[in-house]
Amino acid sequence: MWSRAGLAAYRFTPGPGTVHVLGRDECPVRHVSAVLDHAAGESAGQCGPCMFGVPAAAEDFDMLAAGRLDHSGFQRLRGRLGLLPGRGACRFPDGVAGYARSALRAFGAEVDAHLAGRCTVGAPTRTTDVVAV
């Protein structure tokens, strides 16, 4: 059941209550990166997690989407996402971190491809992968 009570059994929350259906030509890693970029600019900027943590996580996700994040950078991203919940003046950083961590789990194959410099949608991620015609 899609309700707070129904999702609680799975330790989920409905979050903001929005749904975005990815198109066949839409890369989920790039979509999540765009959402995190938006979130980094939407905080009230009243505490450290919103001023520094959310933008740092968004920057790491941008690098992942571009195929420029190595495995140590990926571990840094996961660490940052683990530090955000429960530390802000509000729940905004908790939601951002939960969204990003959920995306890393749900789109594991796509994340692995981006870590290898490929995109499952077919678009190259690294400029060295672009072939001139």
Q: Quick one: pLDDT at residue 74? A: 98
In a domain, 39, yes or no: yes
Number of structural domains found in the chain? 1
Q: Quick one: pLDDT at residue 33? A: 97
In a domain, 13, yes or no: no
In a domain, 9, yes or no: no
Report residue 92: phi and psi, to 5°: -60, -50
Q: Are 121 and 26 in contact (CB under 8 A)?
A: yes
Domain span holding position 89:
25-129
CATH label of the domain that carries residue 33: 1.20.1440.230
In a domain, 20, yes or no: no
In a domain, 107, yes or no: yes
Cα 130 from Cα 6, distance rounded (Å): 46
Q: Quick one: pLDDT at residue 103? A: 94
In a domain, 1, yes or no: no
One pLDDT digit (tens) per residue for the chain, 133 residues: 667 788 788 777 766 667 788 888 999 999 999 999 999 999 888 899 999 999 999 999 999 999 999 999 999 999 999 999 999 889 899 999 999 999 999 999 999 999 999 998 865 555 444 333 3
